[in-house]
Amino acid sequence: MQPKSMSGIKKYFSMVKFAHSVFAMPFAFLGFFLAIRLNNLQFDYTTLGYIVFAMIFARNAAMGFNRYLDRNIDKLNDRTKGREVAAGIISSKNALIFIIINVLLFMGTAWLINSLAFYLSPIALAVVLGYSYTKRFTVLCHLVLGLGLSLAPIGAYISVTGSFNNIIPVIFSFVVLFWTAGFDIIYALQDADFDKENNLKSIPSRLGKKQALLVARSLHILTALLVMLAGYFLNTGLWYSIAIGVFIVALFSQHRLVSADDLSKVNLAFFTTNGIASIVFSGLTIISLYY
């Protein structure tokens, strides 16, 4: 029998979908190593640790807030009614306390990193927390989610350098933005009918599933072009070429897994394919900076 404290911790890990950190965290590592390599700086374990903790706290706050804000909506949806706050596994009060603690920890970590990171931390929080409201008033909610995750590479870069001084991390941020928006549209196909019935905004509920898939595909084509543009500026060799190939194959394989008439493999496309894409692409790109 597991201790109650461990059981409680597992509930919070489940609420924030901690495993989904695999999408943005590798790009934070990429931003960190980009900053070191492009500015000829020394590797700093402390700064890297701060970046990892900042990413964890920001994600905890964002996901916790999403579950807290959407708890009444989630109760109505068969797919989401088992989520921790909606199901009462975690109380609304405790969820709110969890959010506030992580917001404070995020800002405290940003303060430890450098002054620019601290001054920008409220803006970052406004984006990642504000996303949860957007489905109530705009179909562009997918792009807002992408914007939140896109802060990973540029945020890590600023954490190392304390300044904006290179366009490359910005390009990678746009890569994350459009890549995330595309796969979030695919994920939102599952709730197209529910969203439409409950006046929630999403591209699938507005355009229908077939047109939504076309939009997702277009965003991923743009993502592929931006990945190649980053390679042009980086002027790297074989390893980055392999990174591009793996990323593009993973990017478009999800479009083969999902169709408007068959959503049975949405979770495979959403988590496994994109998780692999993020880890392998970021890892190979970091290697390309040194070899």
The one-digit pLDDT tens for each residue of the chain (291 residues) are 444 444 678 888 888 776 677 889 999 999 999 999 999 999 999 999 999 999 999 999 999 999 999 999 999 999 999 999 999 999 999 999 999 999 999 999 999 999 999 999 999 999 999 999 999 999 999 999 999 999 999 999 999 999 988 999 999 999 999 999 999 999 999 999 999 999 999 999 999 999 999 999 999 999 999 999 999 999 888 999 999 999 999 988 999 999 999 998 998 888 888 989 999 999 999 999 998
Fold of 22-288: Tetracycline Repressor; domain 2 (1.10.357)
* Closest among 181, 123, 183, 182 to 154, alpha carbons compared: 123
For tokens 């190979």, name the residue. Answer: 284
Please count the residues of the chain: 291
DSSP-assigned states of every residue in 182-196:
HHHHHHHGGGHHHHH
Give CA–CA dist 121/105, Å, rounded: 11
| Direct distance between the N- and C-terminal alpha carbons of the chain, in angstroms, rounded to an integer | 50
Alpha helices for 190-273 (secondary structure H): 192-197, 203-207, 209-234, 238-257, 266-267
Q: Are 273 and 250 spatial neighbours (Cβ–Cβ below 8 Å)?
A: yes
Give CA–CA dist 104/177, Å, rounded: 25
For the chain, percent helix, then strand, then coil, each to nearest 5? 80, 0, 20
Give CA–CA dist 96/114, Å, rounded: 28
Give CA–CA dist 197/191, Å, rounded: 10
- State residue 7's pLDDT score: 67
Residues 6+ apart with CB under 8 A from 99: 60, 61, 64, 65, 68
Give CA–CA dist 138/132, Å, rounded: 11
Which burial class, exposed, middle or buried, applies to 112 when counting CB atoms under 10 A from its CB (0-12, 13-18, 19+)? Answer: middle
- State residue 9's pLDDT score: 80
What DSSP character marks residue 44?
-
Q: Which amino acid is at 118?
A: F
- State residue 194's pLDDT score: 96
CA dihedral 20, 22, 24, 27 (to 10 degrees): 180
* Closest among 101, 153, 107 to 126, alpha carbons compared: 107
Q: Are 32 and 157 spatial neighbours (Cβ–Cβ below 8 Å)?
A: yes
Locate 220 and state its tokens: 């991923």
Give CA–CA dist 5/218, Å, rounded: 46
Give CA–CA dist 288/291, Å, rounded: 5
For tokens 């909610």, name the residue. Answer: 141
